[in-house]
Amino acid sequence: MKRQNKKLVISLAKHLTLLKMTICTVNKKRFELKNSAEIHIGCIEYENSCFSKGVVVLTDKFRLQLIATGVWVTVFDDAVPEKMMTKIKVEAGGIMSVRKFYKGKKYTFKKSANWKLRFSLFNADGDELLTIVPTVNWKKESHDFVLQLNEEFENECDAFLILQALHCANCSLSMMSGGKVPALVSI
């Protein structure tokens, strides 16, 4: 009986930690993911403000780079030969697709259709996994983000996927404000 209770407590603690993750904007090129205890889980940091190169840091380090018009890849930094982890592609209608090669899954990232600015990440079945709501932060010349995770799909929504969705949000916001990020798909 004690073993079951211990598993339940560990499972509940993991559940609450995942659901309480927050995105902290350090500056316009660095964003951190923290848990409910304000412990650093990971970050995404760009080399420049056009989001063409950067790093995603969790327990491992990944390189994020623009390889073609509207196409980014995330590559495992320590693998030889390079191991592509994800591919993010801008598609027609402002939708971005996120393909996780190591799990064989595809996700869709898009802006909501209503007047409120919010972005959502959907799995292949059309289920909403998470929502990112940006608000302007004039002091940091960037956005602060509110992260909302869907409890039903917490197992599918890991820190790596959240940081990939955050990259999509940054690129989408840049496209909407006329930034250097390519707004059109290559033909």
With 0-12 / 13-18 / 19 or more C-beta atoms within 10 angstroms meaning exposed / middle / buried, residue 98 is buried
Q: What is the 3-state secondary structure (H, E, C) of the chain?
A: CHHHHHHHHHHHHHHHHHHCCEEEEEECCEEEEECCCCCEEEEEEECCCCCCEEEEECCCEEEEEEEECCEEEEEECCCCCCEEEEEEEECHHHCEEEEECCCCEEEEEEECCCCCCCEEEECCCCCEEEEEEEEEECCCCEEEEEEEECHHHCCCCCHHHHHHHHHHHHHHHHHHCCCCCCCCCCC
Return the minimum-mean-pLDDT range out of 9-23, 28-42, 52-66, 128-142. Answer: 9-23
Percent residues over pLDDT 90 in the chain: 55
2-176 has CATH 3.30.750 classification: no
Q: Could you state, in order of their start, the residue ranges of all structural domains in the chain?
A: 2-176
Spatial CB neighbours of 129, under 8 Å, sequence gap ≥ 6: 107, 120, 121, 122, 123, 149, 150, 153, 156, 157, 161
- Across the range 20-46, mean pLDDT stands at 93
pLDDT tens digits for 54-83? Answer: 999 999 999 999 998 889 999 987 766 788
Tokens coding 70? 């509207």
Mean pLDDT over each residue of the chain, to the nearest integer: 84
pTM exceeds 0.75 for this model: yes
- Contact (Cβ atoms closer than 8 angstroms) between residue 48 and residue 54: no
